[in-house]
Amino acid sequence: MPKLRLKGLERWYLLLCTIIFVTLSSSILYQYITTQELYAILESSDDHTHGQNSLFANVGKRVTVTSRIKTTPTDTQCTHWSCLDSYKCVEDGLGKISIYVYDVNKYVDTKDTELLPSPSKEFVQILWAIVNSRYAVESPESACILVPSVDLLNRESFSSDNAARVLASLPYWNNGTNHLIFNMITAAAPNYVPALNFAHGKAVVTGSGFTQRSYRRTFDISVPMFNPHQSDEDFKHCNNPNRQFFLLAAQQVYFQSIYDQLIDLQSQRSDVLVLLTSCSDAQRQSVNGMARCDGTTGKAFSYPAVLTDAKFCIITREQQLANTYLHDILRAGCVPVISIDTYIMPFSEILDWKRAAIFINEHRLDETLKILLKAYDDGNYYKQLQDQGRFYYENYFSSITKITWTTLDILNDRILPYRAKPYEHWNRPLMPNRPNNPFFVPLIPSQKPGFTAVVLTYDRFELMKQVVENVAWCKHVAKIIIIWNNPELEPPSDSQWPAVSVPTKVCVLQSFFPRVILICLYREPQPQNPINRKHQPKRTQLETPKPPQIIALLSFNLVRKDIIGSIVICW
């Protein structure tokens, strides 16, 4: 098959068409609504509750923002420890963060001209999910996180200067400290910089399309790009066991170099790779709704329904990284193949994406077929990838509400790590039918940074429960190992031990050392990515304290409550 090459004027024409298409496709997502439509959405919402109506009580109220408002430049070096005031989140003793949502107002300048459009339907759903979450509070003074009711989901739809002025005018803005901004389409034409390029101070950004350069680790939150135009009819065959296509590429636009490589792969194995792209007007008429077309045969396919007929679906780099491909692929039951080296996956800090997707470096794109054929030969491995992807979609991607609540849960786990959910909660156990054995050790290292506490005990179970609870209270402890050294008495069952936020294991010894409680601390090894290491922030003592700091904290917490009389701690 001859290779498709574009030269000279044709390349410039393709680039111009690509920019126009991406701009138009962004504009139809997250469209803005009127005040009347807003009320209609609230009345028809499945999550409608009458206890949170105050949020929308002032819809239509006009708030004047003067040009004298001083905006806050974005702090690109923010980390969880440098820009977030977490002490405000723990002083109320609720054991969870508290979130306040500003009233929905219309912001105008001194000439009564609106500075920002009305909120989109999707943004209203986000606000509604927050005020109906377990974290919502009605007083800004009692909240540790504040959410502006300013729709910044689509970067194409608002002025950067106006957005910065409106945020800076908020009564509790404080340079953006402890504020949470929601965004979906981060980049804007013509440069498509994958970052919110307007002044938002120290606010946490929840967005799609982050790269390693734009993502502030431990601070921003990467979320999936939700597709508001999907329909159940498109995915009625998502459980199709007999999929026709082995590997499907179904993007509308590609970088020319990537497209050339895919053409080369298709020329080698046209029976394995199906390469689809945008359609002409004549081709699109044969398909209802959105379409993708085969550049070789000209055949048109309905999108995203065509994804339900593929085993693997590849996503490659394009100018606008914030797109719905991953969302559509997971819903279709196709296994995603990611070939974007610097892309930050949605909810990457809690989801183990290697269990649901295959990652191929961009410079190894020509080896894609060989890698996938080898993976598919292990039928069990392919089924595990597919099942895990479906689990992620159903629990974290399937609605605006689930995306929002997952975001809040991640923020809660960051601020209150001693309450954090374990790996198995987010990703399902690696071995769901494993035996209930106190000697069983997880197959993966702890994902939480910190220390392992080894506690020696003999018989005093009630005292031991208090010790475990107080050790787990320390946010720098990642795991607890209890050594039961009474040869004449079996340790209590797992159900009798206190429920704590860190993994706890019981081991039995045949020695006898009853009078002193021994706590040994071991540093948890943290997995490092050598490619990304240069982008990681320098650690400080606040992030990972030294063992003596942990010892002092544990000793004070145990002894002050008269739980023990003597304690030996080693590290």
- The 10s digit of each residue's pLDDT in 462-483 is 888 888 888 877 767 878 888 8
Please work out, in degrees rounded to the nearest 5, the angle formed at the alpha carbon of residue 229 by the alpha carbons of 223 and 230.
Answer: 85
Global model pTM greater than 0.75: no
What are 517's two structure tokens? 């409680």
Q: Which residues contact 284 (CB under 8 A, 6 or more apart)?
A: 291, 293, 300
What is the C-alpha to C-alpha distance for residues 497 and 516, in angstroms, rounded to an integer?
20
3-state secondary structure of 79: coil
Distance CA 238, CA 121 (A): 27
Is 400 within 8 Å of 126 (Cβ atoms)? Answer: yes
Tens of pLDDT, residue by residue over 438-468, are 444 444 455 556 778 888 777 777 888 888 8
CA distance linking residue 479 with residue 163, whole number of Å: 44
| Contact predicate 321/187, CB 8 Å | yes
- The sign of the CA dihedral 84, 530, 192, 398 is negative
CA distance 410 to 343: 19
Residue 294 to residue 475: CA distance in whole angstroms: 54
Top mean-pLDDT range of 299-303, 543-547, 552-556:
299-303
Would you say residue 45 has pLDDT above 50? no
Q: Give the number of other CB atoms < 10 A from CB of residue 416.
A: 18
pLDDT of residue 187: 63
H or E segment and range at residue 389 = helix 379-392
Q: Which residues contact 417 (CB under 8 A, 6 or more apart)?
A: 448, 450, 475, 501
Amino acid residing at 363: H
Q: pLDDT tens across 344-374, in order?
A: 999 999 999 999 999 999 999 999 999 999 8
> What is the spatial distance between Cα 18 and Cα 408, in angstroms, rounded to a whole number?
35
Low-confidence winner among 112-116, 383-387, 550-554 (lowest mean pLDDT): 550-554
Percent helix, strand and coil across the chain, each to the nearest 5 = 35, 15, 50
Of the CA atoms within 13 Å of residue 186, those in its CB half-sphere come to: 28
Confidence of residue 436 (pLDDT cuts 50, 70, 90): very low
Quick one: which H or E segment has residue 368? Answer: helix 368-377
Sheet holding 300-302, edge to edge: 300-302, 291-294, 273-277, 245-249, 310-316, 335-339, 358-359
Cβ–Cβ < 8 Å for 315, 327:
no
Type and span of the H or E element at 388? helix 379-392
First CA to last CA distance, the chain:
65
Quote the distance between the C-alpha of residue 349 and its chain's center.
7
Mean pLDDT of the chain: 77
Q: Is the pLDDT of residue 25 over 50?
A: no
pLDDT of 4 higher than 80: no
Query: Are 423 and 435 in contact, with CB atoms under 8 Å apart?
Result: no
